[in-house]
Chain A
Amino acid sequence: AQSVTQPDIHITVSEGASLELRCNYSYGATPYLFWYVQSPGQGLQLLLKYFSGDTLVQGIKGFEAEFKRSQSSFNLRKPSVHWSDAAEYFCAVGDYNQGGKLIFGQGTELSVKP
């Protein structure tokens, strides 16, 4: 069955430091991959998505993610974190065999130290 794993439940970084959030997926075909962010009290907002082509994708708010088929990974990165990036981040895969509905990982909560 398709699944998404985010190994880190909670990460704390200092403001201005670089960030990498991990995402591993289990999927039998070429995956459709997404990263969403959820700010406190808000719904989920799409940061970026990968469907095909260039394996390094750029998103909003200075985020990028790299698709690595050999590692079944789609890690999210940002070179310099801002205090406003504190939020929960979700990785998701589109389940093509089930009509393309999204399967989400457990989420990673990001805290930013001043």
Chain B
Amino acid sequence: DADVTQTPRNRITKTGKRIMLECSQTKGHDRMYWYRQDPGLGLRLIYYSFDVKDINKGEISDGYSVSRQAQAKFSLSLESAIPNQTALYFCATSTGPNTEAFFGQGTRLTVV
């Protein structure tokens, strides 16, 4: 089983719908991240959490919200999806500052 699991793997949704992407991890790491990948732009950080009570905005948080339900679970929500949120979304975990991040398989989201 994967250490960092994202669900769903693929999702098509309509403009204006609310959608939640889920991430769970079995690595026991305190730090969790949500990144968005777009062609030619690399990975951009949406939100990150250093523990259950510590959640921070990344560089592109507008239009997104997160919830850290437990050490192992970190969910990303799009309150009202729009087409330019169509992207590949990655969840990642790490043990501490400047350590390597471990990534999930990604969720491909299409907003039509």
Report A's interface with B, CB cutoff 8 A: 4, 6, 9, 32, 34, 36, 42-46, 49, 51, 90, 94, 96, 99-107
Contacts and interface: CB of A to CB of B under 8 A. Distances in A.
Interface string B90-109: 10101011111101111000
The A interface is mostly helix, strand or loop, or mixed, namely: strand
Given A94-B97, A104-B42, A99 B103 contact: no
B48 interface: yes
Contacts of B43: 44, 90, 104
Given A104-B42, A105-B42, A106-B42, A43 B50 contact: no
Contacts of B48: 99, 101
Contact of B41 (A34, A43, A99, A106): A106
Given A43-B90, A44-B90, A44-B103, A100 B96 contact: yes
Contacts of B100: 34, 46, 49
A42 B105 contact: yes
A100 B97 contact: yes
B33 interface: yes
B40 A106 contact: yes
Given A100-B94, A102-B33, A104-B44, 6 more contacts: A9-B40, A36-B103, A42-B105, A90-B42, A96-B98, A106-B41
Given A43-B106, A46-B100, A90-B42, A99 B50 contact: yes
